[in-house]
Amino acid sequence: MLLGEHPLPDAARHAAAATWSARALAVTPSSTKTPAWLADQAVAAATAAGLDVDVLGPAELAEHGFGGILAVGGGSASPPRLVVVRYAPPARAGQRHVVVAGKGITFDSGGLAIKPRESMVAMKTDMTGAAVALATVLGAAALGVRHRVTALLPLAENAFGGSSYRPGDVLTVHGGTTVEVLNTDAEGRLVLADALAYAAGELDPDVLVDVATLTGAATLGLGQQHGALFTPDDELAARLVAAGDAAGEPLWRMPLVAEYGSSLDSQVADVKHVADPGTSAGAITAALFLQRFAGGRRWAHLDIAGPARSPKAVHEIPEGATGFGARALLRWLAEL
């Protein structure tokens, strides 16, 4: 079953367009796709759709305490950005505000924890979460979804240089939480910590969703056909799983094991951003880290590291970037 079976007019066409736009951004070479370039594409698309959009550059990010985004982007010659895109239909009874935050690493070298060459080849697609978030808000507007939708795109290039952040550094992310860095190649959760804390503290969402090509552990556990879904909310999980099944983007709910949270305890900061070396369950501990910044809101985390990239064309899925998540989120929003 595809989104086109939903009674909203032209739903299948809009879902396909949203997925295509996410794919197109993901396959753009990183020599072109700097954070500034990607922010410009978001502004152009949002403006054409009649949506409100704001872009925070380095000065604004520093002023408002986005320490995660600034640290990750600090080693690059291309400074980071935070893009906020808002779709606000007329108010009506039962309307909710959904915020979708997407990891937007325009290229991931691993930073000082540099990746092997083979692991870097696909890293121009490490901003797929941001592309999916943008596609979702644009698709929601095109569909006329009745709920408010805000997309947050924290954009940075994880490069390395004299101003790179280091293992052992302590960062202060938006809202004041301090984070001890252990691995500069776990940068996605740092930019998302900023985005989630900003959303929870200042945007008053009814539901907060983040989307990210976050962990190799999710790919090892589920392969390349299922996205990993984490949420403590049974109803939200059921609705997202059903939407993914209907849209042809299956999600598999994973456990949030509270006992693993102690592996993120830090002696020098409020929290470590990765678990101690040798700790298993990397996808779960990453989700537990992100949950801390959701501020107690209804929250779900989609780790799409596996299905965001396809090694070959299969059915409607192309080789390379897939845009996984856009159709599922649009189906969920249409039925929310």
Q: What pLDDT is attached to residue 205?
A: 98
Catalytic machinery residues: 115, 189
Model confidence at 332, pLDDT cuts 50, 70, 90, reads: very high
Q: What is the mean pLDDT of residues 122-136?
A: 97
Residues 199 and 101 sit within 8 Å (Cβ to Cβ): yes
Q: What is the mean pLDDT of residues 244-262?
A: 96
Q: What pLDDT is attached to residue 281?
A: 94
Q: What pLDDT is attached to residue 4?
A: 39
Overall number of domains in the chain:
1
CATH number at residue 216: 3.40.630.10
Model confidence at 319, pLDDT cuts 50, 70, 90, reads: confident
Angle between helices 11-27 and 128-143 (to 10 degrees): 160
Q: What pLDDT is attached to residue 7?
A: 46
Q: What is the mean pLDDT of residues 139-161?
A: 97
User: Looking up tokens 């299922």, which residue turns up?
Assistant: 226
pTM of the model: 0.95
- Taking the CA atoms of residue 313, residue 318, residue 320 and residue 325 in that order, the dihedral angle to the nearest 10 degrees is -120
> Range of 178's domain?
3-335
User: pLDDT tens digits for 171-198?
Assistant: 999 999 999 999 999 999 999 999 999 9
| Burial status of residue 251 (CB atoms within 10 A of its CB: 0-12, 13-18, 19 or more) | buried
Model confidence at 3, pLDDT cuts 50, 70, 90, reads: very low
Lowest-confidence pick of 26-40, 181-195, 219-233, 305-319? 305-319
Give the mean pLDDT of the chain: 94
Cα 309 to the chain's mean position, in Å?
15
